[in-house]
């Protein structure tokens, strides 16, 4: 089986003169959103210990000797603090503005407690997206747009 591709040098020159930045920005945004979708879901809440626990959206809680519940409202609501920003024409940045985010999601800094609970690291999320067919689809769409 054989096939032929006819390529006119004038057409190639015209394609290369077109601004391909929007196509690459679309790829970058699509990949970044996919990584955010992998890393941002909360794992299942661990079983609540009898005397102290962490309550999502609130912070540390504990049971006092008199039976009342004490606590510190320290939660920065990690799940609501994801942002995607553009840094220049070809760079997309995914960030979380909570101060403790590195200890939850950055592979090098993740605590054993967060790993044991099932929090996804940045490295795991990126690997899942890179290993998926998503990037091929985004690049194919972008190339189709550029070559039209």
In the listed set 26, 58, 75, which residue is the last one of a domain according to the structure? 75
On whether residue 88 sits in a domain, the answer given is: yes
User: Which uninterrupted H or E stretch holds 94?
Assistant: strand 92-96
Mean residue pLDDT of the chain comes to 87
User: Which residues constitute the domain of residue 67?
Assistant: 43-75
Q: Which two tokens stand for residue 145?
A: 């747009």
Same domain? For 58 and 111 the reply is: no
Residue 1 lies inside a defined structural domain of this protein: no
Q: For residue 138, what are the CA distances in angstroms to 24, 36, 98, 104?
A: 9, 16, 30, 29
Number of domains composing the chain:
2
Which residue did the predictor score with more confidence, 125 or 21?
A: 125
Among the residue ranges 18-27, 33-42, 110-119, the one predicted with the least confidence is 18-27
Q: Classify residue 59: in a domain, yes or no.
A: yes
31 found inside a domain: yes
Shared domain check, 35 and 106:
yes
37 with 102, same domain: the answer is yes
Check if the beta carbon of residue 123 is closer than 8 Å to that of residue 105.
no
**How does pLDDT run across 67-95, given as a tens digit for each residue?**
999 999 988 999 999 999 988 878 899 99
Does 14 share its domain with 49? no
Q: Any residues with CB less than 8 A from the CB of 81 and at least 6 apart, and which?
A: 96, 97, 98, 101
Q: In terms of domains, do 33 and 53 share one?
A: no
Residues 49, 116, single domain; the answer is: no
Question: Are residues 87 and 138 located together in one domain of the fold?
Answer: yes
Which pLDDT value is given to residue 46?
78
Both 63 and 26 in one domain: the answer is no
Do 103 and 35 share a structural domain?
Answer: yes
Same domain membership, residue 31 and residue 69:
no
> Which pLDDT band, with edges at 50, 70 and 90, does 132 fall under?
very high
pLDDT exceeds 70 at position 7? no
Amino acid 130: pLDDT: 94
Residue 123 counted as domain residue = yes
11 CB neighbour count, 10 Å cutoff: 11
Asked whether residue 67 is assigned to any structural domain, the reply reads yes
Q: How many CB atoms lie within 10 A of CB 131?
A: 9
**Distances in Å between the alpha carbon of 120 and those of 56, 62, 77, 107, 115?**
17, 27, 16, 9, 8
């Amino acid at each position: 089986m054989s096939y032929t591709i006819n390529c006119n040098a004038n057409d190639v020159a015209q394609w290369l003169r077109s601004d391909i930045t929007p196509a690459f920005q679309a790829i970058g945004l699509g990949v970044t959103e996919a990584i955010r979708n992998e890393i941002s879901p909360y794992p299942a809440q661990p079983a609540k210990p009898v005397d102290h626990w962490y309550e999502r959206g609130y912070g540390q809680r504990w049971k006092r000797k008199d039976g009342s519940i004490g606590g510190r409202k320290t939660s920065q609501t990690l799940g609501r603090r994801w942002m995607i920003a553009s840094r220049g024409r070809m760079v997309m940045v995914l960030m979380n503005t909570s101060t403790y985010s590195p200890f939850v999601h950055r592979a090098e800094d993740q605590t054993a407690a967060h790993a044991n609970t099932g929090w996804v690291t940045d490295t795991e999320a990126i690997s899942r997206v890179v290993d998926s067919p998503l990037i091929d689809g985004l690049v194919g769409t972008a190339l189709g747009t550029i070559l039209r």
